[in-house]
């Protein structure tokens, strides 16, 4: 892709991100402005639109800051630590994926690469953009299994998304009454179930196949595609995961623990903000938001995530103030940004070292 194409691709997503954030801040600030006007005995409906906007953007930021400041520093620090555990569990799962193809990456190196990927996740597309960097570094760790190394990153992300979708689907069962009462959540739940079916189909075809048995010309057609031999090699590498005993069950188990820890981070933040949200509701809302915000629409999923939390939590069925729902989302994102900054430091400290290692691997490959 040309440089102008890359700029355009990133630019329009940045504009969408800004538009979504601007929209949700504007709506919430107008609500805060209306509440402030009513406290002063002013008829909000009689104010000109520009006066309403001015009132909202005068009182709204103050209320948002007041809401953010409600959380004690120790509680926020605890949420950041909990967020860190999700990264550790992600490293555990990725090393399990790597070992299927005989790539035994040391803990220290896997941790470095994961933190660097987390850093780039904050600035690239969706919440999966850092996987491009992760795949890049993983391929540099070997000179004879580069395809398999890149594939492990894709498979790790696929299993993570699949597990989160399954987790959200399972958590709908104890939230049946909430789904019936919450029209917005019900609509998103239908979307998640559709994504779960689609992702399960992709996992089944990738790990266990079956298409070539019903369509005998599938492999011939695949070889005719651009880089067809590489795609066939990739497909064969995928089959290894389906043949590995207990691989799917073990990685799903780690993923389910990771998903529960993600929800735990929000429970800690709700406790700090004194939000009365039923924990069982968080166990379905949080994974739904994570799955949808992973779609590469905006930079780092920013804007999509905030709108979704306000969209669901501020509804009458849960009745959390919009400002508080936005604060919850921003604080959770701040915890992720903390570890992104750690990843940025790792990237700066070890960048030259990584390039030296790459030259060493290339020298080995040429000898």
What residues contact residue 61 under an 8 Å CB cut-off, 6+ apart? 29
Percent of the chain with pLDDT over 90: 41
The CA distances from residue 255 to 35, 120, 164, 250, 268, in Å, are: 43, 22, 8, 9, 20
What was the pLDDT predicted at 363? 47
Handedness of CA 240, 244, 250, 256 (dihedral sign): positive
Instruction: Report DSSP state, residue 303.
Output: T
How many residues belong to the chain? 367
Tokens of 124: 């690239």
Q: Report CA Rg, the chain.
A: 23
What SS3 class is residue 281?
A: helix
What was the pLDDT predicted at 231? 64
What was the pLDDT predicted at 216? 55
The CA distances from residue 277 to 32, 77, 254, 309, in Å, are: 21, 21, 26, 12
Instruction: Report DSSP state, residue 45.
Output: G
Q: For residue 145, which phi and psi values (nearest 5 degrees)?
A: -135, 45
What was the pLDDT predicted at 46? 85
What was the pLDDT predicted at 364? 37
What was the pLDDT predicted at 17? 73
Task: Output b/e per residue, 299-334; b: 16+ Cβ within 10 A.
Answer: bbbbbbbbbbbbbbbbbebbebbbbbbbbbbbbbbe
Digitized pLDDT (tens) for each residue of the chain, 367 residues in all: 556 665 666 666 678 777 878 888 888 888 888 888 888 888 888 889 898 888 888 888 988 899 899 999 999 999 999 999 999 999 999 999 999 988 888 898 899 889 988 888 776 544 445 777 788 778 777 767 777 888 888 899 999 999 999 999 999 999 999 999 888 899 999 999 999 999 999 899 888 876 555 555 555 655 665 655 656 667 778 888 988 899 999 999 999 999 999 999 999 999 999 999 999 999 999 999 999 988 877 766 778 889 899 999 988 889 899 999 999 999 999 999 899 899 888 888 776 665 545 554 444 344 4
- Give dist(CA 94, CA 160) in Å, integer: 10
For the chain, the domains span 1-69, 72-366
Q: For residue 93, which phi and psi values (nearest 5 degrees)?
A: -65, -45
Per the CB < 8 A criterion, the answer to whether 52 and 44 are in contact is: yes
- Give dist(CA 129, CA 14) in Å, integer: 14
What was the pLDDT predicted at 29? 86
Greatest CA separation for the chain: 83
- Give dist(CA 167, CA 187) in Å, integer: 17
What was the pLDDT predicted at 232? 67
């Amino acid at each position: 892709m040309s440089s102008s194409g890359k700029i355009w691709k990133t630019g329009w997503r940045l504009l969408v991100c800004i538009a979504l954030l601007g929209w949700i801040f504007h709506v919430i600030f107008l609500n805060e402005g209306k509440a402030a006007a009513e406290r002063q005995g002013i008829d909000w409906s009689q104010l000109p639109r520009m006066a309403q906007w001015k009132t909202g953007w005068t009182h709204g930021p103050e209320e948002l800051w007041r809401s953010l400041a409600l959380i004690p520093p120790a509680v926020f620090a605890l949420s950041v630590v909990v967020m860190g555990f999700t990264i550790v569990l992600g490293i555990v799962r990725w090393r399990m994926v790597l070992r299927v193809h005989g790539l035994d990456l040391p803990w220290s190196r896997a941790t470095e690469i994961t933190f660097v990927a987390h850093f780039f996740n904050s600035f690239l597309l969706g919440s999966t953009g850092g996987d491009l960097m992760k795949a890049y570094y993983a391929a540099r760790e070997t000179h004879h299994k580069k395809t398999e190394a890149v594939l492990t990153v894709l498979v790790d992300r696929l299993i993570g998304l699949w597990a989160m979708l399954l987790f959200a689907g399972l958590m709908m069962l104890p939230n049946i009454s909430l789904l019936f009462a919450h029209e917005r959540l019900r609509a998103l739940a239908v979307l998640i179930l559709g994504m779960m079916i689609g992702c399960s189909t992709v996992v089944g075809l990738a790990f266990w196949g079956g298409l070539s048995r019903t369509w005998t010309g599938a492999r011939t057609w695949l070889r005719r595609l651009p880089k067809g031999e590489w795609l066939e090699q990739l497909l064969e590498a995928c089959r290894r995961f389906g043949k590995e005993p207990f691989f799917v069950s073990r990685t799903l188990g780690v993923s389910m623990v990771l998903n529960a820890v993600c929800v735990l981070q929000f429970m800690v933040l709700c406790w700090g903000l004194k939000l009365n949200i039923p924990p069982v509701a968080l166990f379905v809302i949080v994974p739904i938001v994570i799955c949808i915000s992973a779609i590469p629409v905006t930079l780092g999923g920013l804007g999509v995530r905030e709108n979704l939390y306000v969209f669901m939590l501020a509804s009458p069925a849960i009745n959390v103030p919009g400002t508080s729902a936005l604060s919850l989302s921003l604080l959770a994102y701040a915890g992720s940004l903390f570890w992104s900054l750690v990843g940025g430091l790792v990237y700066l400290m070890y960048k030259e070292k990584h390039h030296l290692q790459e030259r060493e691997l290339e020298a080995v490959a040429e000898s």
